[in-house]
Amino acid sequence: MQQKACILLILWLPFSFSISKQTINNSTIALPGCPTKCGNVSVPYPFGIGLDAGCSIGPWYDINCSKSFNPPKPFLSRTNGEIIDISETKIRVKSNGIAYRCYNQTGGITRKFPTLYGIDETSPFSFSNENKFIVVGCDDVSFMTKVATGNLISSCAAICSQSSDLSDGSCSGIGCCQNSIPKGVKNYITSLRSYGNHTNVSSFNRCGYSFLGEQGRYRFHPSDVSDSNFEHRFVETVPMVFDWVIGNQTCAEAQKSSLFACQENSICVDSDTGLGGYHCNCSKGYKGNPYLRPGCQG
């Protein structure tokens, strides 16, 4: 049975927040009068809890604290992926999809699931190059292309002839392949193809998979090529990483605006994604949240 492609617009992607080691660290992490935690998760400004509550720097950073979970889970109001970590420049989100293509013994396709991910062009988010494009299988090649233009972003091929070819932890092309992606990607579609429709490997490998995941978070095991639970296990263990910025202006442009986000004793750093935007960091010798008044403290 065929399934429809996964279309994931960051316009509706849930995030669930926790703070990484290099995240904004201050006892007053939120605006005065605004909550700092949703369930077990702290939410630092420029993000804020509450939709249109005035607790964030803008609507893209609003957090919907859903009490339909126990404990409650925070969701970024305009996206739809559960966040597991937020740092000074990155957000790690629970993956919402994996492309796959499965075959029977005679090479007929039994099920397939391509993925299409799109982030709103006006959003402050993009896919980080800390992700790897990964293919798992023994007769598979996958292409990651831009949605609008079809231009190639990345590709990878994973092949093998027998299960004994596979090595635990190895992802160099035999049963598992990984490749880099550039900074600044806002959308992509993945497509899987097979060299022989798995007819020569169907005894131990019926499906091929491709996905985007944080580098170092996925470890290949030979049993992955035959694991019927692989899709679910991947989603639960391998997050994706997004870059986040403030706005789309450079520091020089933003400093001329009354909406400039960097407070006292902080410095502005231009984003390196090629999409514009900036971050604020405390100046050397100062600590705190550089986005909150009165700024970083000595």
Q: The domain spanning residue 283 has which CATH number?
A: 2.10.25
Peptide bond into 74 cis (omega under 30): no
> Domain of 193?
99-244
- Check whether residue 166 and residue 136 sit in a common domain: yes
What sign does the dihedral 130-135-141-145 (CA atoms) show? Answer: negative
pLDDT at 66: 85
**Whether 66 contacts 73, CB under 8 Å:** yes
pLDDT at 79: 65
- Check whether residue 155 and residue 188 sit in a common domain: yes
Q: Which residues contact 249 (CB under 8 A, 6 or more apart)?
A: 257, 276, 277, 278
d(CA 50, CA 41): 14
Q: Which residues contact 114 (CB under 8 A, 6 or more apart)?
A: 5, 6, 99, 189, 190, 191, 192
d(CA 170, CA 76): 35
What is the pTM assigned to this prediction?
Answer: 0.85
What sign does the dihedral 59-60-61-66 (CA atoms) show? Answer: positive
pLDDT at 11: 36
pLDDT at 197: 97
Residue at 228 is within a domain? yes
- Check whether residue 297 and residue 235 sit in a common domain: no
Mean pLDDT by 10 residues, the chain (298 residues): 41 35 53 88 89 92 89 77 81 85 96 89 93 97 94 97 96 97 95 96 96 95 94 89 95 95 97 96 95 92
pLDDT at 245: 97
State the total domains in the chain: 3
Residue at 147 is within a domain? yes
Residue type, 32: P
pLDDT at 241: 94
- Check whether residue 125 and residue 252 sit in a common domain: no
Beta pairing class for 6-9 and 115-118? parallel
- Check whether residue 215 and residue 298 sit in a common domain: no
Distances (CA, A) of 289 to 20, 26, 60, 150, 284: 14, 6, 19, 41, 13
- Check whether residue 142 and residue 170 sit in a common domain: yes
Query: 200: closest CA among 141, 156, 140?
Result: 140
